[in-house]
Homo-oligomer: A and B are copies of this chain.
Protein backbone atom coordinates (compact mmCIF):
# COMPACT_ATOMS: atom_id res chain seq x y z
CA UNK A 1 0.00 0.00 0.00
CA UNK A 2 1.50 3.33 -1.05
CA UNK A 3 0.86 6.19 1.34
CA UNK A 4 -0.62 9.41 -0.01
CA UNK A 5 1.78 12.36 0.26
CA UNK A 6 1.04 15.51 2.21
CA UNK A 7 0.86 17.62 -0.98
CA UNK A 8 -1.71 15.22 -2.42
CA UNK A 9 -3.71 15.28 0.78
CA UNK A 10 -3.80 19.08 0.83
CA UNK A 11 -4.81 19.30 -2.82
CA UNK A 12 -7.53 16.72 -2.22
CA UNK A 13 -8.82 18.69 0.79
CA UNK A 14 -8.96 21.87 -1.27
CA UNK A 15 -10.77 20.04 -4.05
CA UNK A 16 -13.27 18.64 -1.55
CA UNK A 17 -14.14 22.21 -0.56
CA UNK A 18 -14.12 24.14 -3.83
CA UNK A 19 -14.45 21.50 -6.56
CA UNK A 20 -12.34 21.25 -9.66
CA UNK A 21 -9.98 24.00 -10.88
CA UNK A 22 -8.82 26.18 -12.40
CA UNK A 23 -9.64 28.47 -9.51
CA UNK A 24 -7.97 31.80 -8.79
CA UNK A 25 -6.53 32.89 -5.47
CA UNK A 26 -9.04 35.71 -5.07
CA UNK A 27 -11.26 37.26 -7.66
CA UNK A 28 -13.82 40.02 -7.38
CA UNK A 29 -17.53 39.39 -7.78
CA UNK A 30 -20.03 41.94 -8.98
CA UNK A 31 -23.47 40.77 -7.90
CA UNK A 32 -25.06 44.10 -7.10
CA UNK A 33 -25.43 47.60 -8.47
CA UNK A 34 -21.90 47.87 -9.90
CA UNK A 35 -22.91 48.12 -13.56
CA UNK A 36 -25.77 50.50 -12.79
CA UNK A 37 -23.69 52.94 -10.73
CA UNK A 38 -20.84 52.95 -13.25
CA UNK A 39 -23.32 53.50 -16.06
CA UNK A 40 -24.77 56.40 -14.08
CA UNK A 41 -21.27 57.96 -13.87
CA UNK A 42 -20.83 57.75 -17.62
CA UNK A 43 -24.28 59.20 -18.32
CA UNK A 44 -23.70 62.05 -15.87
CA UNK A 45 -20.18 62.60 -17.33
CA UNK A 46 -18.85 62.63 -13.73
CA UNK A 47 -16.17 59.95 -14.04
CA UNK A 48 -13.21 61.84 -12.63
CA UNK A 49 -12.04 63.46 -9.43
CA UNK A 50 -15.30 64.86 -8.16
CA UNK A 51 -18.75 63.33 -8.09
CA UNK A 52 -21.49 62.01 -5.86
CA UNK A 53 -20.04 58.49 -5.62
CA UNK A 54 -16.79 59.79 -4.13
CA UNK A 55 -18.77 61.56 -1.41
CA UNK A 56 -21.11 58.61 -0.91
CA UNK A 57 -18.28 56.09 -0.76
CA UNK A 58 -16.52 58.12 1.92
CA UNK A 59 -19.70 58.49 3.98
CA UNK A 60 -20.61 54.80 3.69
CA UNK A 61 -17.08 53.66 4.44
CA UNK A 62 -16.95 55.81 7.57
CA UNK A 63 -20.35 54.49 8.62
CA UNK A 64 -19.37 50.87 8.02
CA UNK A 65 -16.05 51.05 9.87
CA UNK A 66 -17.17 53.42 12.59
CA UNK A 67 -14.34 55.83 11.75
CA UNK A 68 -15.43 59.44 11.99
CA UNK A 69 -13.89 60.22 8.61
CA UNK A 70 -12.85 58.33 5.51
CA UNK A 71 -10.92 59.89 2.63
CA UNK A 72 -10.99 57.87 -0.58
CA UNK A 73 -7.71 57.59 -2.50
CA UNK A 74 -6.26 56.11 -5.63
CA UNK A 75 -4.86 53.01 -3.89
CA UNK A 76 -3.63 51.57 -0.63
CA UNK A 77 -0.05 52.66 -1.23
CA UNK A 78 -1.11 56.31 -1.52
CA UNK A 79 -3.12 55.86 1.68
CA UNK A 80 -0.03 54.58 3.51
CA UNK A 81 2.07 57.42 2.12
CA UNK A 82 -0.41 60.09 3.25
CA UNK A 83 -0.96 58.44 6.65
CA UNK A 84 2.79 58.44 7.30
CA UNK A 85 3.09 62.05 6.16
CA UNK A 86 0.16 63.10 8.33
CA UNK A 87 1.71 61.24 11.27
CA UNK A 88 4.71 63.54 10.89
CA UNK A 89 7.16 60.96 9.51
CA UNK A 90 10.06 62.92 8.05
CA UNK A 91 13.30 62.30 6.20
CA UNK A 92 15.76 60.55 8.53
CA UNK A 93 13.11 58.95 10.76
CA UNK A 94 12.59 55.24 11.24
CA UNK A 95 9.21 53.51 11.12
CA UNK A 96 8.55 50.08 12.64
CA UNK A 97 6.61 47.48 10.65
CA UNK A 98 6.47 43.74 10.30
CA UNK A 99 8.88 42.12 7.85
CA UNK A 100 6.27 39.51 6.90
CA UNK A 101 4.39 42.03 4.80
CA UNK A 102 3.52 43.29 1.36
CA UNK A 103 6.12 45.78 0.13
CA UNK A 104 3.77 48.78 -0.17
CA UNK A 105 4.17 49.94 3.43
CA UNK A 106 7.97 49.78 3.33
CA UNK A 107 7.94 51.65 0.01
CA UNK A 108 5.62 54.32 1.41
CA UNK A 109 8.02 54.84 4.33
CA UNK A 110 10.83 55.53 1.86
CA UNK A 111 8.60 58.02 -0.03
CA UNK A 112 8.79 60.11 3.18
CA UNK A 113 12.58 59.82 3.13
CA UNK A 114 12.35 57.55 6.20
CA UNK A 115 13.75 54.06 6.80
CA UNK A 116 11.69 50.94 7.47
CA UNK A 117 12.71 49.09 10.62
CA UNK A 118 11.52 45.50 10.66
CA UNK A 119 10.05 43.59 13.58
CA UNK A 120 8.85 40.05 14.20
CA UNK A 121 5.34 38.67 14.31
CA UNK A 122 3.54 36.02 16.32
CA UNK A 123 2.32 32.86 14.70
CA UNK A 124 -1.33 32.82 15.85
CA UNK A 125 -2.49 36.02 14.16
CA UNK A 126 0.53 36.86 11.95
CA UNK A 127 0.65 40.33 13.52
CA UNK A 128 3.46 42.16 15.30
CA UNK A 129 4.40 40.45 18.57
CA UNK A 130 3.87 43.14 21.21
CA UNK A 131 6.01 41.45 23.85
CA UNK A 132 9.01 40.98 21.58
CA UNK A 133 8.55 44.53 20.35
CA UNK A 134 8.55 45.93 23.87
CA UNK A 135 11.67 43.99 24.85
CA UNK A 136 13.42 44.97 21.66
CA UNK A 137 12.65 48.66 22.00
CA UNK A 138 13.77 48.58 25.63
CA UNK A 139 17.13 47.30 24.41
CA UNK A 140 17.77 49.42 21.33
CA UNK A 141 16.09 52.73 22.07
CA UNK A 142 16.22 55.58 24.53
CA UNK A 143 13.82 58.42 25.13
CA UNK A 144 15.13 61.89 24.39
CA UNK A 145 12.44 64.32 25.48
CA UNK A 146 9.34 63.43 23.49
CA UNK A 147 11.28 61.37 20.98
CA UNK A 148 12.47 57.78 20.93
CA UNK A 149 15.94 57.39 19.52
CA UNK A 150 17.38 54.22 18.04
CA UNK A 151 20.69 54.11 19.90
CA UNK A 152 22.23 51.94 17.19
CA UNK A 153 21.45 54.19 14.22
CA UNK A 154 20.96 57.48 16.05
CA UNK A 155 17.69 58.02 14.18
CA UNK A 156 14.31 58.90 15.61
CA UNK A 157 11.84 55.99 15.72
CA UNK A 158 8.69 57.88 14.85
CA UNK A 159 5.83 55.52 14.14
CA UNK A 160 4.58 51.95 14.29
CA UNK A 161 2.59 50.50 11.38
CA UNK A 162 0.43 47.63 12.57
CA UNK A 163 -0.91 45.35 9.84
CA UNK A 164 -3.83 42.94 10.07
CA UNK A 165 -2.43 40.09 8.02
CA UNK A 166 -4.83 38.32 5.66
CA UNK A 167 -7.64 39.98 7.64
CA UNK A 168 -6.70 38.67 11.10
CA UNK A 169 -6.56 41.47 13.66
CA UNK A 170 -3.29 42.09 15.49
CA UNK A 171 -3.18 42.55 19.27
CA UNK A 172 -4.25 46.18 19.30
CA UNK A 173 -4.53 46.70 23.07
CA UNK A 174 -1.00 45.49 23.71
CA UNK A 175 0.47 47.22 20.65
CA UNK A 176 -1.25 50.48 21.57
CA UNK A 177 0.36 50.24 24.99
CA UNK A 178 3.82 49.67 23.52
CA UNK A 179 3.33 52.56 21.12
CA UNK A 180 2.31 54.80 23.99
CA UNK A 181 5.23 53.73 26.16
CA UNK A 182 7.73 54.55 23.40
CA UNK A 183 6.00 57.66 22.02
CA UNK A 184 5.33 56.02 18.67
CA UNK A 185 2.49 57.19 16.47
CA UNK A 186 0.32 54.19 15.68
CA UNK A 187 -0.89 53.69 12.11
CA UNK A 188 -3.06 50.70 11.23
CA UNK A 189 -2.60 49.12 7.83
CA UNK A 190 -6.07 47.66 7.30
CA UNK A 191 -5.52 47.09 3.57
CA UNK A 192 -6.52 43.44 3.97
CA UNK A 193 -9.02 43.69 6.79
CA UNK A 194 -12.23 45.46 5.85
CA UNK A 195 -14.90 43.69 7.88
CA UNK A 196 -12.41 42.60 10.56
CA UNK A 197 -12.90 43.64 14.19
CA UNK A 198 -10.71 43.67 17.25
CA UNK A 199 -12.87 43.57 20.36
CA UNK A 200 -15.82 45.00 18.38
CA UNK A 201 -13.76 47.89 16.97
CA UNK A 202 -13.21 47.84 13.22
CA UNK A 203 -9.59 47.48 12.15
CA UNK A 204 -8.13 50.77 10.95
CA UNK A 205 -10.02 52.84 13.52
CA UNK A 206 -7.82 52.34 16.58
CA UNK A 207 -4.63 54.12 15.54
CA UNK A 208 -4.24 57.82 14.80
CA UNK A 209 -4.80 56.87 11.16
CA UNK A 210 -5.82 53.70 9.35
CA UNK A 211 -5.39 52.75 5.72
CA UNK A 212 -7.41 50.55 3.38
CA UNK A 213 -6.99 49.04 -0.07
CA UNK A 214 -9.63 48.26 -2.68
CA UNK A 215 -7.35 46.66 -5.22
CA UNK A 216 -8.86 43.94 -7.40
CA UNK A 217 -7.63 41.14 -5.14
CA UNK A 218 -9.24 42.56 -1.99
CA UNK A 219 -12.55 41.65 -0.32
CA UNK A 220 -14.20 44.58 -2.09
CA UNK A 221 -12.69 46.44 -5.03
CA UNK A 222 -12.86 49.78 -6.77
CA UNK A 223 -10.54 48.63 -9.58
CA UNK A 224 -7.72 50.51 -7.93
CA UNK A 225 -8.42 52.35 -4.72
CA UNK A 226 -7.67 52.99 -1.10
CA UNK A 227 -8.68 55.16 1.82
CA UNK A 228 -7.41 56.82 4.94
CA UNK A 229 -9.56 56.45 8.07
CA UNK A 230 -9.28 58.74 11.07
CA UNK A 231 -11.33 60.14 13.93
CA UNK A 232 -9.49 63.46 13.72
CA UNK A 233 -11.20 66.12 11.59
CA UNK A 234 -8.00 68.09 11.04
CA UNK A 235 -6.17 65.02 9.76
CA UNK A 236 -9.08 64.05 7.51
CA UNK A 237 -9.19 67.52 5.99
CA UNK A 238 -5.44 67.52 5.56
CA UNK A 239 -5.54 64.08 3.89
CA UNK A 240 -8.12 65.37 1.40
CA UNK A 241 -6.07 68.53 0.82
CA UNK A 242 -2.83 66.62 0.21
CA UNK A 243 -4.64 64.19 -2.11
CA UNK A 244 -5.94 67.03 -4.28
CA UNK A 245 -2.60 68.78 -5.05
CA UNK A 246 -2.95 70.92 -1.88
CA UNK A 247 -5.04 73.40 -3.87
CA UNK A 248 -6.74 76.13 -1.88
CA UNK A 249 -10.42 76.56 -2.70
CA UNK A 250 -10.86 79.69 -4.86
CA UNK A 251 -13.36 80.77 -7.48
CA UNK A 252 -10.68 80.51 -10.15
CA UNK A 253 -7.11 81.00 -8.93
CA UNK A 254 -4.55 78.18 -8.73
CA UNK A 255 -3.03 78.50 -5.30
CA UNK A 256 -1.41 75.48 -3.68
CA UNK A 257 0.00 75.97 -0.19
CA UNK A 258 2.28 72.92 0.11
CA UNK A 259 3.68 70.00 -1.87
CA UNK A 260 0.66 67.88 -2.72
CA UNK A 261 -0.26 64.72 -4.57
CA UNK A 262 -2.71 63.50 -7.16
CA UNK A 263 -4.12 60.76 -4.97
CA UNK A 264 -7.89 61.21 -5.34
CA UNK A 265 -10.11 58.26 -6.15
CA UNK A 266 -11.96 58.94 -9.41
CA UNK A 267 -15.77 58.93 -9.27
CA UNK A 268 -16.07 55.94 -11.61
CA UNK A 269 -13.96 53.86 -9.24
CA UNK A 270 -15.93 55.12 -6.25
CA UNK A 271 -19.16 54.09 -8.03
CA UNK A 272 -17.85 50.53 -8.12
CA UNK A 273 -16.94 50.89 -4.43
CA UNK A 274 -20.43 52.02 -3.41
CA UNK A 275 -21.96 48.96 -5.02
CA UNK A 276 -19.30 46.67 -3.53
CA UNK A 277 -19.86 48.04 -0.02
CA UNK A 278 -23.54 47.07 -0.33
CA UNK A 279 -22.40 43.51 -1.06
CA UNK A 280 -19.82 43.37 1.72
CA UNK A 281 -21.91 41.61 4.43
CA UNK A 282 -22.82 38.91 1.94
CA UNK A 283 -19.19 38.46 0.88
CA UNK A 284 -18.04 38.23 4.51
CA UNK A 285 -20.61 35.60 5.30
CA UNK A 286 -19.44 33.50 2.37
CA UNK A 287 -15.79 33.91 3.27
CA UNK A 288 -16.51 32.67 6.79
CA UNK A 289 -18.41 29.70 5.35
CA UNK A 290 -15.45 28.92 3.10
CA UNK A 291 -13.16 28.99 6.13
CA UNK A 292 -15.45 26.61 8.02
CA UNK A 293 -15.35 24.16 5.13
CA UNK A 294 -11.58 24.37 4.73
CA UNK A 295 -11.18 23.89 8.47
CA UNK A 296 -13.16 20.66 8.43
CA UNK A 297 -11.20 19.25 5.53
CA UNK A 298 -7.74 20.42 6.62
CA UNK A 299 -8.24 19.23 10.21
CA UNK A 300 -8.33 15.70 8.83
CA UNK A 301 -4.72 16.08 7.68
CA UNK A 302 -1.84 15.58 10.07
CA UNK A 303 0.90 18.17 9.72
CA UNK A 304 -1.09 21.20 8.57
CA UNK A 305 -3.23 23.76 10.38
CA UNK A 306 -5.47 26.58 9.20
CA UNK A 307 -5.13 30.12 10.54
CA UNK A 308 -8.22 31.06 12.56
CA UNK A 309 -9.52 34.40 13.75
CA UNK A 310 -7.84 35.40 17.01
CA UNK A 311 -9.75 35.33 20.29
CA UNK A 312 -11.97 38.33 20.90
CA UNK A 313 -11.74 39.18 17.20
CA UNK A 314 -13.78 38.82 14.06
CA UNK A 315 -11.73 38.20 10.93
CA UNK A 316 -12.86 38.87 7.37
CA UNK A 317 -10.85 35.79 6.30
CA UNK A 318 -9.56 37.72 3.30
CA UNK A 319 -6.98 35.08 2.37
CA UNK A 320 -7.30 31.62 3.81
CA UNK A 321 -3.93 30.41 5.05
CA UNK A 322 -2.68 27.02 6.08
CA UNK A 323 0.63 26.39 7.81
CA UNK A 324 2.88 23.38 8.05
CA UNK A 325 3.28 22.21 11.63
CA UNK A 326 6.93 21.55 10.76
CA UNK A 327 8.21 24.49 8.69
CA UNK A 328 10.01 23.34 5.55
CA UNK A 329 10.65 25.33 2.40
CA UNK A 330 10.83 22.20 0.29
CA UNK A 331 7.56 20.78 1.63
CA UNK A 332 5.96 24.24 1.25
CA UNK A 333 7.06 24.37 -2.37
CA UNK A 334 5.95 20.79 -3.02
CA UNK A 335 2.48 21.64 -1.78
CA UNK A 336 2.47 24.87 -3.83
CA UNK A 337 3.52 22.97 -6.95
CA UNK A 338 0.87 20.35 -6.39
CA UNK A 339 -1.92 22.85 -5.73
CA UNK A 340 -1.03 25.08 -8.66
CA UNK A 341 -0.60 22.10 -11.00
CA UNK A 342 -4.12 20.99 -10.06
CA UNK A 343 -5.40 24.47 -10.97
CA UNK A 344 -5.75 25.88 -7.46
CA UNK A 345 -3.88 29.17 -7.53
CA UNK A 346 -1.93 29.25 -4.28
CA UNK A 347 0.99 31.27 -3.02
CA UNK A 348 3.45 31.37 -0.15
CA UNK A 349 3.66 34.17 2.39
CA UNK A 350 5.66 37.20 1.29
CA UNK A 351 9.42 37.07 1.08
CA UNK A 352 10.48 38.88 4.26
CA UNK A 353 10.95 42.53 3.37
CA UNK A 354 14.36 42.72 5.02
CA UNK A 355 15.57 40.07 2.54
CA UNK A 356 14.73 42.21 -0.51
CA UNK A 357 17.41 44.27 -2.25
CA UNK A 358 15.93 47.71 -1.47
CA UNK A 359 15.74 46.96 2.28
CA UNK A 360 18.68 44.69 2.84
CA UNK A 361 20.43 47.37 4.89
CA UNK A 362 17.39 48.46 6.88
CA UNK A 363 17.46 47.83 10.63
CA UNK A 364 15.69 44.72 11.83
CA UNK A 365 15.17 42.73 15.00
CA UNK A 366 15.71 38.98 14.82
CA UNK A 367 12.81 37.49 12.92
CA UNK A 368 12.45 33.87 14.08
CA UNK A 369 8.70 33.62 13.77
CA UNK A 370 8.57 35.53 10.50
CA UNK A 371 11.14 33.14 9.07
CA UNK A 372 9.23 30.09 10.25
CA UNK A 373 6.04 31.41 8.69
CA UNK A 374 7.82 32.18 5.43
CA UNK A 375 8.79 28.49 5.41
CA UNK A 376 5.41 27.16 6.37
CA UNK A 377 2.54 29.33 5.16
CA UNK A 378 0.42 28.83 2.06
CA UNK A 379 -2.56 30.89 0.91
CA UNK A 380 -5.25 28.91 -0.87
CA UNK A 381 -8.16 30.09 -3.04
CA UNK A 382 -10.35 32.44 -1.03
CA UNK A 383 -12.94 34.10 -3.28
CA UNK A 384 -16.36 34.45 -1.66
CA UNK A 385 -17.99 32.96 -4.76
CA UNK A 386 -16.45 29.56 -3.95
CA UNK A 387 -19.34 28.81 -1.61
CA UNK A 388 -23.04 29.42 -2.14
Contacts and interface: CB of A to CB of B under 8 A. Distances in A.
Q: Could you tell me the dominant secondary structure of chain A's interface residues? A: loop
Number of chain copies forming the complex:
2
Interface in A33-82: 34-35, 38-39, 42-43, 45-50, 74-78
Nearest to A245: B103
Given A28-B47, A48-B215, A256-B356, A104 B245 contact: yes
B221 A252 contact: no
B47 A255 contact: no
A325 interface: no
Nearest to A348: B252
Interface in A362-386: none
A270 B264 CA distance: 17
Interface of A: 27-30, 34-35, 38-39, 42-43, 45-50, 74-78, 102-104, 107, 110-111, 113, 215-217, 221, 223-224, 245-247, 251-262, 264-269, 272, 336, 340, 346-348, 350-351, 356-358
A358 B258 contact: yes
A211 to B, nearest CB: 12
Contact of A215 (B38, B49, B217): B49
Nearest to A215: B48
Nearest to A350: B254
A278 to B, nearest CB: 15
Given A245-B103, A259-B358, A357-B257, A340 B49 contact: no
Contacts of A224: 48-49, 74, 262, 264-266, 269
Contacts of A221: 47-48
B252 A347 contact: yes
